[in-house]
Amino acid sequence: MGIITTNTVFIPTITQQEQGRDGEMSRLLSAALVDNQFCELLLSEPDLALANGYNGESFLLSYKEKQFVMSTPFQSLPDLAEGWVKLNHQFNC
């Protein structure tokens, strides 16, 4: 008689509320990740990058998100992403 084992895989999920809260920032960061020209614009002229959108699509950022992106100078995309995570962690803890 053989031994039967089962593997349990945990797949983290996010709620609709969580997805809505961070979804637009995720889209913005993703666009900057895949397109160097958009990334450079986002880092150098964030107001223009947000106004122009990416690939014909706009970003529906909250007031807090827009203020964060436009008022904080970032040297790189990882700096922007890290700042966003820190800001959210500060408000969620």
Q: What is the pLDDT of residues 41-86, one digit of tens each?
A: 999 999 999 999 999 999 999 998 999 999 888 999 999 999 988 8
The Cα-based distances of 16 to 13, 22, 27, 54 in angstroms read: 10, 10, 15, 24
Distance CA 51, CA 77 (A): 18
Q: What is the pLDDT of residues 15-25, one digit of tens each?
A: 444 444 568 99
Distance CA 93, CA 73 (A): 25
User: pTM here?
Assistant: 0.71
CB distance 37 to 74 below 8 Å: no
User: Which ranges in the chain belong to alpha helices (H)?
Assistant: 16-34, 36-44, 46-52, 63-71, 77-92
